[in-house]
Amino acid sequence: MRQILLIGVLGAALGLTGCSELVSLNSIAAEGASLQDPALPGVWAGSDEMFIVRQDGSGYRIVYVDKDSSRKFRAVLFQAGEAKLLDLVPEEEDPFRVPVHIVVRVWTEPSTLRWTFLDTDWLKQQARKALVSQDSADRTLLTAPGAAVRGFLNTFGADERAYKEANTLSRVQ
């Protein structure tokens, strides 16, 4: 009975995250190992979306806005092999939602920000082999401890097969 309840709660959590197909139940960025990138804070715009990124202590606050909605995230930037990754978690607290962590790869330049989710079918397949996980519809929930997920991302996070085409945003401010 307990396992059925857990699967139901995890399924609901996955259904409410909306963004990525590969999510983690546990924080991925190591405590005290966050990076600071002076090029990341600012207002970034694409054709149909806008990101407002602000420094917040050792991490970032990110507001995502598109034509239909807006979402707020807390983020920690960390290095995994050759890749700079953001560990994003929704900022809104809701007792009916489990906050999951989403991994985003970023490339920063003074006037452009490229980003993409790390969630390809290839990466999900590698994660299922290497980490404790749970599938729900088209999503994979990593239930492994954050240190195990970091080790996995050190190996696979910079691989071109781990992500789809990156979105390019231009600096507005």
pLDDT of 63-75, one tens digit each? 999 999 999 999 9
CA distances from 46 to 33, 97, 107, 150 (A): 30, 29, 15, 29
Question: What integer pLDDT is reported at residue 5 of this predicted model?
Answer: 31
Q: Where are the domains of the chain?
A: 2-35+75-171
Please compute the mean of the pLDDT values over residues 70-96 and round it to a whole number.
93
Question: What integer pLDDT is reported at residue 7 of this predicted model?
Answer: 35
Quote the CA–CA distance of 146 and 58 in Å, as a whole number: 18
User: Is 138 or 101 the better-scoring residue by pLDDT?
Assistant: 101
pLDDT greater than 80 at residue 3 = no
User: Is 121 or 19 the better-scoring residue by pLDDT?
Assistant: 121
pTM over 0.75: yes
Question: What integer pLDDT is reported at residue 95 of this predicted model?
Answer: 85
